[in-house]
Each structure stands twice: as structure tokens, then as C-alpha cells.
Chain A
Amino acid sequence: MQAGFCRLPLTFDAPRLLADLARISRDDWHAHFNADYHDGGWTGLALRAVAGSAVALYPEPRPEAAYADTPLLAALPEFGQALARFHCPLHAVRLLRLAAGSRIREHRDYGLGFDQGLVRLHVPLVTGPDVEFYLDGERVAMGAGECWYLDLSRPHRVQNNGTIDRIHLVLDCEVDDWLVSHFPSEAEGAAQRLSPAMVAAAAQSSQRQFEAFRDLVLRDAALLAPLRREEEPTRFSELVVETGRQLGFRFTRDDVASALQAARRAWLERTLVS
């Protein structure tokens, strides 16, 4: 289970689930709880939540018994059937919508992991090539209707560069024998990471664009000098993005923030025994 992500052998009929979802009005989507890490375009619906909780979207670590189906799930029969296919105990289950043009800044989610007995699965319902999900600096390309495990205790971020909202079904699952039996072996996992879809997604990612820009800058003292003079972090990031844009590179402040964070980690972890 060392890989940061892998696809599980479960597929869902995304169009059918979306048809079910059409019963819900747009107003029912609540602003997602974690306002520090996104830019306002992140909303969600709770399908299973802590009963009576005022912040139903907030998946606190609690015993499974504290979680219950919400009235909303009762109104969505297709989702009820989809959830029934998970034979492991389910904690929080949510629909998360990331609006077109929005992003979720790099962060880690704690309290999740095989060692903690609780893992988070994602089932994309609406997605596309313009949605870029990065885990630990690697792009993870997830298709609609697929089911993915992601180790979200590692740094991750999302940007929706597309024109439609991204919608994922997100399930917090208790680790039991049923769940473990659905994980691919090491060899299957490795093959999947090298799938053509993954390679293609990585090649056209904005992070790849940033890395190409960085390589160029490191060979050009004239480009480096003004960037080294700017020491205020926000203005620096803007200057990097703008310098890249003028040279024809398409990447975002999030790509810059993620690379800065990786460099900070490399420095802070320099004394750890590898």
C-alpha cells in the first residue's frame, strides 16, 4: 500500500448518477468547510454525515456508528444503490463540486490512512482533461465513473481550468477485509501508474509547463536576476507566473506554491535518516 494512489476495480454509471443529481437544486450545495484552502468555488452535499451535526460536511474522525444517511440520500435512489456496493463500513460520504476556474490549494488531510483504519475514495462524476489533480507532485488523471484511492495525507491540490464544474463522489471507508481485497497488487498498481492516460495527462499538465519554465530560467542569468530581487512572497509568485506567461508557458500560482513547498520540505527534512 505504499503507492500514493491507485484505481480500484469498481466502476459506476456516471451519467445515471448525474441524472439522479439533477433533482437537486443548485442552492442545496453548501460552501465547503475548508475556506482556507480554496478560492470560494468549492461546495458540497452530504449523503452520509454525523447525525444532527451543524456542519454536516465536516468529516470528523468518529466511530462509524455516529454516521448516518442524510435525508438527501433518501431522495437520490441511484446514489443509494451506488453506496450499497461498498461492503465496508462508510463514514462521511459527500458530493464535492469544484466550480469551473476554481482551485484547491495544496494541503494535507490528516486522520486518514491505512494505519488509521480509514481511507478516502474518489469517484469522479463530472471531470475532464482540464481538471488537474496533483498528489505529491504527480498528476493523477481520474476518469468519470472510475473509483480511486488516494493517500490524501500527502500534499495534494486541484485546479479546474475547464468551463464546467467538477463533481466527485467522495467516500470515507473503514479498512476491512472487503476493502483490502479490492486493492491491486504492487505489480498491477505499477502498470496502472504507467498507463497511456497517465503519461498523456502528465505531459500536458501545467506543472510540466512550470518545470520546463524553471529549467529555462536556471540557464539564463538575465531571467534569474529580476526574480531573485523580488523577496515578497506574493509579488514573487505573481512575477514568476507573469514571466512564464510572457515566454509562452501556461502554469499557475499553485504550481509555484507547490514547488516552493517541495523545496521547503527538502530543506526541513535534510537531517532525517532516509
Chain B
Amino acid sequence: MSTTKSVDGRSAETSALITVGRGARRARRPRRSSTRFVLAPLVFIAVAVVLFALFFLWPGALGLWYSFTDYSGVGTPEFIGAENYIDLAQDPVFYTVLGRTLLYTLLSVPLHYVAALGIAMLLTSTFAKGKSVARIIFFLPWLISPIVAGVIWKWLFGENFGLVNYLIEMLGGNGLQWETNPNLALVLILIVSTWGGTAFNMLLFIAAIRNIPQSYLEAAQLDGANGWQRFYRIVLPLLRPTSFMVILLTTIGAMKEFAMVQALNGGGPGTSNMFIVQYIYRTGFERADVGYASAASMVLMVILIIIAIIQLRFDKRNDLA
């Protein structure tokens, strides 16, 4: 790289800087390095910049443009103003889809959080036995694709043939309508997504729990804090950055749930459990109404951005407190 020559020219100064130490170097660094290395970092990030422009900026801008057109996937898109958005605002299906997605998100995030944190606590507790085997079992769902997860649970919760209804009937109850009752179908989606999503979040929590200094907990115990107090007053506050990330990622993940639902019940029964990504897929690719689908995409994007901003704000306020 062309920058090496200048480094050699300044080697005496550079080595002097190294001996000066961090504080001094940090103070002088920004001015110097910003002019010294331009080509090297540019080359390093070049591929990422091109990919970012091609597959994020361009589709983003294009999607915004499409949402104001009647584009059907072929031909030339024609500008129709805000018509798509007006139609969306009057589309009862869109409201159902949006409401279902939000309800699902609202229910699944706490469930994911509690499951992942609880299991992580158990897996790091000194008392529980058989932790290494249990950890592998909890991690198993991570290996299983959402499509296969859908197959597994469909097999287990089949209305007429599933093991679960069979067991319920054996115990004297009536089999539940996992396939024909929309609310039970949603409960099933919640169960499956929690089962599938725990592994990753659990890993995050385990790593974070291990980073909590033992001395804090021991000191608290000497002061007479019980298990719950130690958890609530020490562990939980220290896990806040991880908690924040888990909640943010789970929220975004829930908002764009697709594959597992597709395999489990296809958004059914009927369209009662259709989520927003599925709606976008159907209108855009099956009904070839790209303009309309793009408008729905933009609404989803705005919702995600709002969620992220709210959570970021919330996180900041917590840090100040």
C-alpha cells in the first residue's frame, strides 16, 4: 500500500508515540491518522460499501418509488401518487394482518425473554445437575430450520392425528382445535417460535451471566440477600445491555416472522393468522401487485424504525437513572 512509505518516514516519531502511551496518543491521533490513511480503509470497506449500496440503498429507494406507482413486476411503473397508501388505509385485511403481527410480537417477546433468561439462569446455577446435557438439548432447536420446525410441531399438534390431542383425549378431555381455531393456532405459533428462538438468546444470556463478577454475588450473600434479591438487584441490572439487545432483536424478528408460520399452518386457518411479511409476499409475488406490496413494506419499515427508536430511547433513559 502506498501509505507504508509515509509510515517509514515517520518511524522515529511513531515509536516515540508508542512509548508516550495511550492518553497522549489518543489526543493527537484523530488529526494525524485521518490524513495518513485514506486508501487502505477505503479498500478494506470497498466490497461492503458496494454491497450495501446494491442490496440496501437501491432496494430501499426503489421500494419507496414503487410504493407510489402501480408497478406489477413487468412493464413500466406509472406514478399514481399516494393511492396505494390510501387503499392500504382502507384495506380491512391489512389491518387484520397488522393487528395479528403486533399481537404476536407483544406476546412472543416477553415469552422469548423469560424463557431464554430462565433457562440461562438454570444452566449457570451451581445447583442444577446435568447441565451440559441439558444445554445441548436446549440448543437443539437452533439446528432445526423454521420449515422443519413447522413440520415437527404440525405433526405433534395435528387435530386428528397429533400426539398432543391424543394425550388430551386419553386423559378424558376433548382434543383442542389447533388447526381450525385461529387463537389456538396463534398459541401454537407462539410455542413453536419460543422453542425455536430460545437457543440463540440463551447463549447471549449465558455469556453475559458468566461475565458477572462472582464477588458481587458473594458480597450480597454475606449481606444476607436471598436468591431472588441477588437476581433482581444484581444480576438483572448487570444484564441490561444483553436484555436490551435480546428484546430489540426478538421484536424485529417477531415482526418479520414468515418461514415457520408458512410451514406450520400457512397463516391459517384461512388468512386469520397471516402476518405482515406473508401479506407482502402474497400481494407482491402471487398477486403481482408490487406497488401495493411496496407500500405495505414501507409501513412495516416505518414501524420497525419507530420500535427501534423507542427502545433506544428507553435504553438511554435507563442508563441515566
Whether chain B is bound by chain A comes out as: no
- Which residues of A are interface residues toward B (Cβ below 8 A)? none
